[in-house]
Amino acid sequence: MLSGCSVSSLAARFAFFPPEPATYAVRKDEAAAGAGRLVASGVPRDNAMDVLLVDTRKGNKVVAFYLKNPAARLTVLYSHGNAADLGQLYDLFVQLKVNLKPSEENTYADIEAVYQCLETEYGISQEDLILYGQSVGSGPTLHLASRLPRLRGVVLHSAILSGLRVVCHVNFTFCFDIYKNVKKIKKVKSPVLVIHGTDDDVVNWSHGNELWKLAREPYDPLWIKGGGHCNLELYPDFIRHLSKFICEMENMTTKMRLKKIRQSLQPTKKAPRVNTRTTTTFTTNCCCRIRVRKPSCPSCSCNFNCSCCSALRSCFSFRLFRCSTCFSCNCRSCFKCCFDCCCCGSCGDAH
């Protein structure tokens, strides 16, 4: 049996080994115009990018880059992979970094904190958000996506089914497994694009294929022939297919999206209540019918709740009647089944 410490060690060894030394550093801007503003050394100076240090519910701080584009209608919240940092991913969408005592729960707290920052600081709602998770970053991505029913979309790039399925090549889930995407993908209500290389020797292509099959609203996947784990961006089809997905999500009107959400949230309709005062006929073949009838109270309209009707509550009997339309046939199935009150004799079909 694995202890809590050994499970945490397994998660850390599998999930977190960022480059050392880091490819960037966060510091305060010394320039007069931007005094007190955070900047990242080691990456190109960009006035359209905010460098953020976001506090998480775990008491840690997570670094995030927010790249502003006034013409954009959607925002991509990107969870990067385990062997990279934000300095290496400067040119790729919205980015965040996982550090400071890494653990599975901490990464969940990190992405929740960044999402709340997008909501409160930039006014970005989940309807205008696409989540992007690469490799182990698919864990926090699907964690958040499973909790946001009105997301515009999700991108899974070289994603994993779960941690142990990568490390131990098992096909089932242990209680101590980490990043159980195989379960969380079923809770995601938005369109999901899966991108995976067929020659990925770190996370086998079967992970992406299974996630695509399990998605409730799968988008056309992109299987990059010959692609590995860390080089999919070099293939022309990558940016072409990803751009197509984002454009389609952008063109999806709010009305269409809300219609899909309402349909997914609608409870299963219950069968209509049968009026027990009327006769319901179920046709089974050409000459057999089943009739169910409840007689009316002879003295009032109390629906058999008064004392005078107490005797009637149990006076339903089952009687067989010969079919009135085909007396000449000899088949034993030609009977009409009638449930009726044996006291009131209201059934007029007896023969």
Catalytic amino acids?
135, 200, 229
Tokens coding 56: 């998480």
Which residues, 6 or more positions from 27, have their beta carbon under 8 angstroms from its beta carbon? 38, 39, 40, 41
Distance (Å, whole) CA 19 – CA 34: 29
Distance (Å, whole) CA 33 – CA 334: 95
23: nearest Cα among 48, 1, 42, 46: 42
249: burial class by Cβ within 10 Å (0-12, 13-18, 19+)? buried
Tokens coding 180: 């159980």
CB 87 within 8 A of CB 95: no
CB 156 within 8 A of CB 211: yes
